[in-house]
Chains A and B, each alone.
Chain A
Amino acid sequence: MGDRRVSIIRWKYVAPRLLLVMCLAGLLHFGCDPFVEWLVVTSGQTATGAKVELAELETSLLKGQLVLEDLQVANPKSVMSNLFQVERVNLHLDPLALLHKRVVILNGEINGLRFDVERTSSGELEVPDSCVEQEPSTPAPLFTKADDLASDWLDQVGERLDADFVGQLQTPQVAKKLVEKWKAQSESLRSRSNQLKQRGKQLAEQFREIKKNPLRGAERLPELHVELKSNQQELLALQAEIKALPDQAKTDRQALASARQRDESFLRQQFAFNQLDGDNLTQVLLGQTVAEKLQDACDWIAWVRKKSSSNSSRELAAQRSRGTNVTFGQSLPQFEVKLVGVELTAPVAGHEMQFVGYLSGVSSAPHLLKEPAKLELAALGEVPLKMLVVSDHRGEIPQEELHLACPALPFSGHTLGNAEKLAVELAPGSAELTVDLKLVGNALSGQIKFDQENMQLSPLANSRVNKHLASVLGGALGNIKQVTAEVELAGTLESPRFKINSPIGKQLANEISTAVANLGRERGEALLAEATSKMNVQMEKLEQAKINLQQELLANLGENQKIFEDLAGINGLGERGISVPQLGSTLGRGIMRK
């Protein structure tokens, strides 16, 4: 026992632990890929609140290489589409930085990046993210109000043009009243004529009886004399009335003329439309598009800011509690992307466009870097589009800038305004587009310039719009050959505001207002002409009826007139009245023969 040399190392303890370390190394080698894949998917899902899928992942810790194949990140707001998807991501990490517990992407490539691509399966997570709320965009009330105003104007014009104002015109009403009055008058005249005729016959009968028996009827002669006088006077009055009928027509015509004047004034008032507000129209036509894009951009910036601030706070929280870590003047962020090449496809103005560029300076602690984060992209092909996004979070106040310039951006045809109300279709063409957007803290400022020449505008077919109005709008829009717009951005990230300065609204408003005024005048004149024509026809019929009645009544009265004239002749013989012999001779010559 005394010769036995005891080793200072407890191999019984060390050996199993060495074995364990070797096992851990093996596990790290073979389990690294699944672990990093799980890390990418989990952190991605936590960040977006939607499914993140990864087809393949390869890591090489010694080389510091990370390759991701077919990465799909679902859109939490639209689960059947991907927020973005990437065919291949090849990143070269700094292995030494990994030993410092930092992830530094020295360089890399992102190929086949596409946005908003349809998914075959839902991208919703099993536990829905309650933080994702669909809130109405802030500028929505602004253009909604403008849209309502413009569509109200259009509805009002359409309604008035469609309205049957003939029912409200006074000329047809006056004409109708005259016809009714004439009907009553003609009935009265006809009735009085018939009564007179009847009474004439009765008088003749009474005189005939007196002639048969003169002695018995003599005492009734004074009474008949009075009745005869009365009838004679009524006959004269009736004849005067009938003869005055043409004069009455003149009065009727005057009444109709004054009614027509009132109608003209009424129609002028009805078709005098207010001038369409040009600024309002600009808001209607361009406001919705601008508001949607602006709100999208602000939402994205807010989302990115929210995520980046949480990373920084986590980094600060990770500091050691005992002592101070000395970094020897090399304070570096936990996560950094130095330079990554990007190749992506994105829809711009309705066209799928390919871009190449680079992403640099992305970091979890931007204040430690000299340069701000940058994304610079240039379009491939014939379209000379360049975009630069700068995100500077190095100072206390974060700043974002977006610069986009394209002298000839192709536009597919699209609709401006609300297709349900007032909208115009913009034909395909190309336009110059410049975007300069700046966000300092929460204060938003910037400008968007849009200039499209040789453009074609046409009104959108809408069943609500009057067909005459649609044709007028077509003519008015045809006169506009250029659209220029300048959008001034203001407000904050939470409630962005914008003002669109564009002559298109005023141009359209002038063209439409003039055309609509002309249409209104034409419509008024047509209505008045229609009413006058109807009135003339009625008046002609009325006059003809009057002439016919006059002839009819005068002819009808002719027979009685003879009796009354004969009887009047008798009456004119003396103040003593009619003597029986005279009666007999008079009646014997005339009416008594019948």
Chain B
Amino acid sequence: MSAFFLRPIRQLAQAMVANDSPRQVAWGFVLGMAIGLMPKGNLFAILLGMLLLALRVNKPAGLMGAGLFTGVGLLLDPLAHRIGSLLLSWEPLRSIHGSLYESAISPWLGLNNTVVVGQLVIALYLIHPAFWLAHHFAARIQAPLRQWLMRFRAVRWLRGAELGTQWGIDG
């Protein structure tokens, strides 16, 4: 029961002091960013969520990214709508969109929705800067922060609890 309530705090600490590499943290953050930007309720958002959970990336970083970019996504909706509209009505891509729509792939993935397409483009555009930033942040901050945090008994205790949970000795 205590594990259930301590889990969010544990995950925050885990993101900072886990043994994941900066690369894993960065990929987790990038996936979280894409999930946050994307409107929910379509197969694309679900697939991204499944990728985050299924791949060996830093999950807490992904969750933080999703939480952060959900708000940003709402602010970017008008821009995303314009980008999506331009792309969906772009004549060279029209036949591809048409066939995707006919085969029912795009409606399920939400790829016929202006905001989904726009946010996807924004997310793709932001992948590299987000990855670079997250990677550098993790590489520079993770080690000193871990040392600093590990001085605290509570963090050690939380880390121990996390390991205990992972090894199946949950109290």
Contacts and interface: CB of A to CB of B under 8 A. Distances in A.
Nearest to A320: B113
Nearest to B54: A14
A96 B56 contact: no
Interface residues of A, number: 21
A324 interface: yes
Nearest to B104: A99
A128 interface: no
Nearest to A323: B115
Contacts of A30: none
A328 B53 CA distance: 34
A328 B104 CA distance: 13
Contacts of B8: none
B13 interface: no
Q: Which of A10, A101, A323 has the most CB of B within 10 A?
A: A323
Contact of B102 (A17, A96, A323, A326): A96
Contacts of A101: 107
Given A96-B102, A96-B104, A99-B108, A326 B56 contact: no
A324 B85 contact: yes
Interface residues on B, range: 20 to 34
B30 to A, nearest CB: 14
Contacts of B84: 323
B104 A323 contact: no
Given A17-B50, A96-B102, A330-B101, A323 B81 contact: yes
A10 B54 contact: yes
Contacts, number: 66
Interface in B98-112: 98, 101-104, 107-108, 112
A101 B108 CA distance: 9
Interface string A114-147: 0000000000000000000000000000000000
Interface in A316-331: 320, 322-328, 330
B55 A326 contact: no
B88 A322 contact: no
Given A7-B56, A13-B54, A324 B104 contact: no
A10 B113 CA distance: 31
Contact of A328 (B56, B80, B112, B115): B112
B107 A100 contact: yes
Interface in A1-16: 6-10, 13-14
Nearest to B24: A8
Contacts of A328: 94, 97-98, 101, 112
Contacts of B14: none
Contacts of B107: 99-101, 325
Given A99-B108, A322-B77, A327 B101 contact: yes
Nearest to B39: A322
23 contacts: A8-B55, A8-B56, A9-B56, A10-B54, A13-B53, A17-B50, A96-B103, A96-B104, A100-B104, A320-B39, A320-B113, A322-B113, A323-B81, A323-B115, A324-B85, A324-B113, A324-B114, A324-B115, A325-B107, A326-B85, A326-B88, A326-B101, A327-B101
The 4 closest A-B pairs by CB, nearest first: A323-B115, A99-B104, A323-B114, A322-B39
